[in-house]
Amino acid sequence: MIKPFKIVFMGTPDFSVPPLLALAEKGHEIVLVITQPDRPKGRGKKMVPPPVKVAAQNLGLRVLQPENMHSAEIKETLVNLKPDLFVVVAFGHKLSQEILDIPAITPINIHASLLPAHRGSAPIQASILNQDSQTGVTTMFMDKDLDTGAILLKSETTIHESDTAEDLHDRLAVMGADLIVKTLDLLAENKLTPILQDHTLATFAPLLKKSDGRIDWAWSPDKISAHVRAMTPWPGAFTHLNGQRLKIFKVTCHTTPSAADPGTVIGCDDQGIRVAAGSGAVTIIELQGASGRRMTALDFLRGRPVKPGAVFHG
């Protein structure tokens, strides 16, 4: 290692943990970790710490969890630490220019897309929804706008037909850890060449809502499949049958046109539940009903037969 940097790390979810661990393992001086406050989760509303807090505490690092990143106290703390860098990964707070100007060198962000594609909060889901063949991670210098800074390095991966958002999340988190280490190594050697983004090529991936999981059966089979994979595990692709909400986890596509209206069940067998779509059909392979348990369509049908002609509604 050429030079250890003095770093303030900012991140919150599971995606941020591998980069934090990689920087610590590489020997960088992580003087502070800033993450979101503990939040209530589950039916019991138990307060749960963010994954980055748990990882940082296991490393013996100092942790702050401010509700407000614009407070005078936070600014004073950061200024007094005199960091070389901020490393920011899925933090969840927007940083003001005043905060971004604090590091001696620069703030660096890891983003889970090949920028300028899919700027925003849900780039992994967007890459699947868009049926991209490739995605990846990007390191960039940060500016006051969202994901618009100069690109430093990129690392690409193929999106496979079976990849869910969860699959890509886990793969890209590891790739992001490798890429930030490489980025800082090159920065220490003065071998980075920042490349300005072409903003005319930018696409956007806004924060997902629970309602975004709804399946529109008028979509093509491949779009329905992409939607199901993109919404797994959250917010979950869903539909309704006879007033019951069903969560769909896995489908297969059929391109043969169906005369039935989209959403109509056209057959049930040991392969699953075949449903007419906009330009073909899909077979539901795995789903979750009122039991709250994910199961195969065959197991679901044993407990609740579904007859051809039944109609799924968004």
Q: In the chain, what percentage of residues exceed pLDDT 90?
A: 94
Burial 3-41 (b: 16+ CB within 10 A, else e): eebbbbbbbbbebbbbbbebbbeeebebbbbbbbeeeee
Say if 191 falls within a structural domain: yes
Residue 224 sits at φ, ψ, to 5 deg, of -65, -45
Same domain, 49 and 120: yes
264 plus 149 within the same structural domain: no
pLDDT tens-digit readout, 160-188 = 999 999 999 999 999 999 999 999 999 99
- The tokens describing 14, both together, are 């599971």
Percent of the chain beyond pLDDT 70?
Answer: 99
Same domain, 24 and 109: yes
- The model's confidence at residue 73, banded by pLDDT at 50, 70 and 90, is very high
Q: Of 253, 255, 242, 240, whose CA–CA distance to 287 is shortest? A: 240
Environment class of 82 (CB within 10 Å of its CB; exposed 0-12, middle 13-18, buried 19+): exposed
In a domain, 1, yes or no: no
Residue showing tokens 């003065």: 190
**How far is 13 from 2, CA to CA, in rounded Å?**
30
Mean pLDDT of 223-233: 98
Q: Which two tokens stand for residue 132?
A: 């991209």
How many domains does the chain fold into? 2
Per DSSP, 96 falls in state P
Per-residue tokens: 187: 């920065």
Residues 138 and 29 in one domain: yes
Least confident of 143-147, 225-229, 233-237: 143-147
Task: Mark whether 45 and 150 lie in a shared domain.
Answer: yes
Which residue in this structure is represented by tokens 């993450």? 35
CATH number for position 27: 3.40.50.170
Does residue 121 share a domain with residue 54?
yes
Indicate whether 11 and 89 sit together in one domain.
Answer: yes
The per-residue pLDDT of the chain, averaged, comes to: 96
Is 223 in the same domain as 196?
no
Pair (160, 254) in one structural domain = no
Q: Which range marks the domain in which residue 238 is found?
A: 211-313
Q: Are 20 and 75 in a shared domain?
A: yes
**111 lies in the same domain as 24:** yes
311: tokens are 């109609």
Q: Fill in the amino acid letter for 59.
A: L
